[in-house]
Amino acid sequence: MTAGLPAARTTRSGLLDVGSGQSMYWEETGSGLPALYLHGGPGAGLGRGGYVERFDRTRYRVIGVDQRGCGRSLPPAGDPAHDLDGNTTPRLIADLELLRIHLGVEAWVLNGVSWGATLALAYAQAHPERVLGIVLMAVTTTRRAEVDWITETVGALYPEDWDRFAAFAENAGVGYRRGEGRIVEAYAQLLRSPDPAAHDAAARAWMAWEHAHIGIGSGRSDGPFDPVRDPVMATLITHYWSHDAFLDPPVLGRMDPLSGIPGVLIHGRLDVSGPVITAWRVHRSWPGSELIVEETEGHGGPRMVQAWTEANARLADRLTRPEAPR
């Protein structure tokens, strides 16, 4: 736990009906400025709730959600009852609006990590009047160039792992050949298989590639394949990435609504999975935003997490001043 901050404790939680037979899990703790945390993936879920420690719960009412189809939300992606075709970024944004109204929140601070940064930016662009400020770590916009980088180009740094990743898709009978199609589209097709064994094998191949490249400079080591979380995550990642995150225009093509919203962008120089150029472009397109580049870390790490915590504290100071404009 970060020194000086109170221990995490969920005070309320529930399942919110978001339509089409889908329910979204939410939880909250603390009091003060409403703050919404958006996890990565897509499909990573809230996990053990460590995100709460990035906030002073005497100043923030911290709200977290397991996005549609993952974590404790029901039914999970891959389940026949899950509406995967209806799982899109506009639907996630609509889910968050339903939750905001359900919880009686007028406007909130957004926090997002990795994919959660994309979702936070997309939500803010759709509903800028509901956003008090934004803090993002491991910044993504999930545009096609970023997806092609993380699924193919960065294979130049991990050729052995990428060869196994591509060979699995080539041998899976979906018509994929390296250099002749997008590997993310091949895996998206494989992860829609109704055959549990085929789905599991594709999820294992996908997550093995994720683990190969994501850890550099992050100060963490990914554990073994999780048979509950990882198939859901692989299904949702490939679903979103093969559809350009269901964002048209993309995030960087509509930054004007963020004008006047305070924001902090935190990124690692060593993030080979998501190079810092994305955070730089978001920063350059968002007047008034602050960019913090941690030179010694990658897609996360203790220095970045500390910067995240400090950014929320500074934002609380700014928003609770008597003369605060928002």
Per the annotation, the verdict on 114 as an active-site residue is yes
Percent of the chain with pLDDT over 90: 89
Q: Is the pLDDT of residue 112 over 70?
A: yes
List pLDDT tens digits, range 28-53.
Answer: 999 999 999 999 999 999 998 899 99
List pLDDT tens digits, range 121-142.
Answer: 999 999 999 999 999 999 999 9
List pLDDT tens digits, range 75-93.
Answer: 999 999 999 999 999 999 9
Q: Which of 23, 114, 218, 242 is catalytic?
A: 114
Determine how many CB atoms are found less than 10 A away from the CB of residue 288: 11
Q: What average pLDDT score do residues 236-244 get?
A: 98
pLDDT at position 1 is: 39
Per the annotation, the verdict on 271 as an active-site residue is yes
Per the annotation, the verdict on 285 as an active-site residue is no
C-alpha 250/C-alpha 220 separation (Å) is: 31
pLDDT at position 3 is: 45
Q: Which of 66, 82, 271, 273 is catalytic?
A: 271
pLDDT at position 283 is: 98
For residues 37 and 116, is the Cβ–Cβ distance under 8 A?
A: yes
Q: Is the pLDDT of residue 315 over 90?
A: yes
Q: What average pLDDT score do residues 218-247 get?
A: 87
For residues 203 and 230, is the Cβ–Cβ distance under 8 A?
A: yes
Q: What average pLDDT score do residues 272-286 get?
A: 97
Closest CA to 76 of 246, 222, 186, 230: 230
C-alpha 233/C-alpha 294 separation (Å) is: 27
**pTM for the complete prediction?**
0.94
Q: How do the domains of the chain map onto residue ranges? A: 12-142+246-320, 146-245
Determine how many CB atoms are found less than 10 A away from the CB of residue 296: 13
CATH of domain 12-142+246-320: 3.40.50.1820
Confidence of residue 214 (pLDDT cuts 50, 70, 90): confident
